[in-house]
């Protein structure tokens, strides 16, 4: 998983762009975490708890996007995917592929640590 962080020097906004297949991770970092260092630390604490007790599922539900930690895998998912689209299922396949991503616990932790370092500059 590749990612790049950017800061708009005109308005002070921060961006996280993730590689194809992981775009939702970038959205989650921008929309659910942003430049709030306390939120990053909360997620890092949640990762530590998940590492200590890998048999339990851990989650953090955001207004738009949610985080799920199960074992050594992290899943980021758009909350809209939780709704049933029975008759429109085929129409949402492309949307779904851009609205859910998985990565390893260690890779996700590195992303969060690097994001924290970036927003602290």
Q: Tell me the C-alpha distance between 93 and 98, whole Å.
A: 9
Burial class (CB in 10 A: 0-12, 13-18, 19+), 74: buried
Q: In this predicted structure, what is the pLDDT of residue 88?
A: 55
Q: What is the pTM of this model?
A: 0.86
pLDDT in tens, the chain (121 residues): 899 999 999 999 999 999 999 999 999 999 999 999 999 999 999 999 999 998 899 999 999 999 999 999 999 999 987 665 555 555 555 456 679 999 999 999 999 999 999 999 8
Q: Tell me the C-alpha distance between 114 and 66, whole Å.
A: 20
Structure tokens at 49: 């708890």
Phi-psi category of residue 12: left, alpha or beta, with phi > 0 → left and psi -120 to 50 → alpha: left
Q: In this predicted structure, what is the pLDDT of residue 92?
A: 53
How many structural domains does the chain have? 1
Q: In this predicted structure, what is the pLDDT of residue 30?
A: 96
Q: Which domain holds residue 55?
A: 3-120
H/E run at residue 119: helix 105-120
Q: In this predicted structure, what is the pLDDT of residue 94?
A: 46
Q: In this predicted structure, what is the pLDDT of residue 55?
A: 87
Q: In this predicted structure, what is the pLDDT of residue 95?
A: 54
């Amino acid at each position: 998983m590749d990612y790049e962080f950017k800061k708009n020097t005109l308005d002070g906004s921060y961006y996280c762009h993730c590689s194809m297949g992981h775009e939702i991770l970038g959205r989650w970092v921008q929309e659910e975490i942003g430049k709030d260092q306390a939120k990053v630390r909360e997620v890092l604490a949640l990762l530590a708890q998940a590492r200590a007790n890998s048999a339990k599922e851990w989650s953090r539900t955001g207004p738009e996007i949610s985080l799920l930690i199960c074992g050594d895998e992290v899943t980021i998912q758009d909350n809209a995917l939780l709704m049933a689209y029975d008759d429109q299922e085929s129409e949402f396949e492309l949307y779904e592929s851009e609205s859910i991503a998985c990565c390893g616990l260690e890779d996700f932790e590195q992303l969060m640590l690097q994001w924290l370092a970036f927003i602290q500059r």
